[in-house]
Copies of this chain bind each other. A is one copy, B any other.
Amino acid sequence: VVIIGAGFGGVAAAKRLEDEAVDVTLIDRNNYNTFQPLLYQVATAGLNAADVAYAVRGLFRRQRRVFFRQGVVRGVDWNRSEVLVDGQQPVPYDYLIVAAGAAVNFFGVPGAAEHSLPLYTLEDAVALRNHVLGQFEAAEVDPTAVEQGALTFVVVGGGPTGVEVAGALAELIDKVLRDDFHDLDVGRARVVLVEQAGVLLAPFSPESQEYARRVLGARGVEVRLGEQVAEVAADAVTFADGGRLATRTLVWAAGVQAAPLAGALEVDQARGGRIVTEPDLSVRNHERVFAVGDVADLDDGADGRLPQLAQVAMQSGRHAAEQVLNTIARRPHTPFVYVDRGTMATIGRRAAVAELATGTRLTGLVAWLAWLVLHLVYLLGVRNKVSVLVNWAWNYLTWDRGPRLILGRGARPPGASE
């Protein structure tokens, strides 16, 4: 069994198969699994990069029949039943689970791909952290940069990611950077959250939406609803109504589409490039091939499609693995049924919204604590759990942020020519 992608879906599939009588090869371009729900905390210096990543090989150390291969998948040779890996020997399969995840969707907005900062991978999160802190360093060196938008941070997209990153940025600036910069009026920094719909957190109830808007506003985030981005440049964003805002930082949290691999497979694709699946998650016309998670177009059992969430990826990955076992055991396949446990989003310190499938709606401190506990439980690895817990406790008690380091690719001191 070959699994493409070691995200939530791919790892869930491999974990289901790890003790079965099958050889499993997991392929990913990174040697680690990323816990994406906490990326925004890496981007805002609340957590270390390593806290939200887990070495894939570490997940399967004792499972000698689970193999990992680091590589970039370019396509599949359907005739030879081989996965094509960039610069490597092809990997033959009997069963294939495609869990290649998503890519950012810029919806064709001019300049967005070149000039905005997405937040989907760990590299994205580190790059955003470096960029934000670098803007403050640059503004202290040259205060005229503030008029040019050095301290104006625009977040596009009012879904959970956008709300979380806007709330965390406002908190970082107000509670931490204000004390860090002794020669800069940090009060001039702005965080602007732009959403083209009329509400934030579209899938939530109106009460939760209103709560999120009120809390963000109280914490200094300018929420602009019904505003559409028309064009992005390195130094400004232009809106559909002609308005213009000078900014050097545009965080793109407006949506995702299926990973580009979906297009290279020459299979049927639905909205957002997602692979069309049968009820058992097999790919249409490829009965030994399954698609799961963000890359797959999954029926929600009613008239709609399932959202691109970690829970969906984990459950569908596990289901696809079970269908492989069913095929081997000559048992009939079963249709995938998603069990919705609810959704949540955090807004900042002691503020979150949670809506359980049972209809229970939580806001404020209780929702925030529920969010913390749930994310700790789902985070992979005891060491990472301890490290995240220590960091959270530290941040909460001291109003400090440990890892506010400008480190790695693209990091360069203000003005430096090398």
Chain A residues in the interface with B (C-beta under 8 A): 29-32, 48-51, 53, 55, 57-58, 60-62, 64-72, 85-89, 122-123, 126, 133, 137, 140-142, 179-183, 381-384, 386-387, 390-391, 394, 400, 402-409, 413-418
Contacts and interface: CB of A to CB of B under 8 A. Distances in A.
Contact of A86 (B30, B179, B415): B415
B414 A87 contact: yes
A401 to B, nearest CB: 8
Which of A30, A57, A67, A417 is the most central at the interface, judged by chain B CB atoms within 10 Å of its CB? A57
A274 B233 CA distance: 47
A406 B29 CA distance: 10
B183 A55 contact: no
Contacts of A30: 406-407, 413
A90 to B, nearest CB: 12
A415 B50 CA distance: 25
Contact of A182 (B66, B72, B87, B183): B66
Contacts of A51: 48
Contact of A383 (B133, B183, B394): B394
Given A32-B407, A126-B408, A405-B53, A416 B61 contact: no
A334 to B, nearest CB: 31
A319 B394 CA distance: 34
Given A180-B57, A390-B386, A415 B137 contact: no
The count of identical subunits is: 2
Contacts of A123: 407-408
Contact of A406 (B31, B88, B382): B31
A2 to B, nearest CB: 14
Contacts of A66: 182
A44 to B, nearest CB: 14
Contacts of A50: 48-50, 402-403, 405, 407
Contact of A417 (B86, B382, B408, B418): B86
A251 to B, nearest CB: 20
Given A32-B407, A49-B405, 13 more contacts: A48-B49, A48-B387, A50-B402, A70-B413, A71-B141, A72-B416, A86-B418, A87-B415, A88-B141, A88-B142, A126-B408, A386-B390, A387-B390
Contacts of A408: 123, 126, 408-409
B406 A409 contact: no
Nearest to A417: B86
Given A69-B141, A87-B415, A405-B32, A181 B57 contact: yes
A67 B182 contact: yes
A181 B418 CA distance: 38
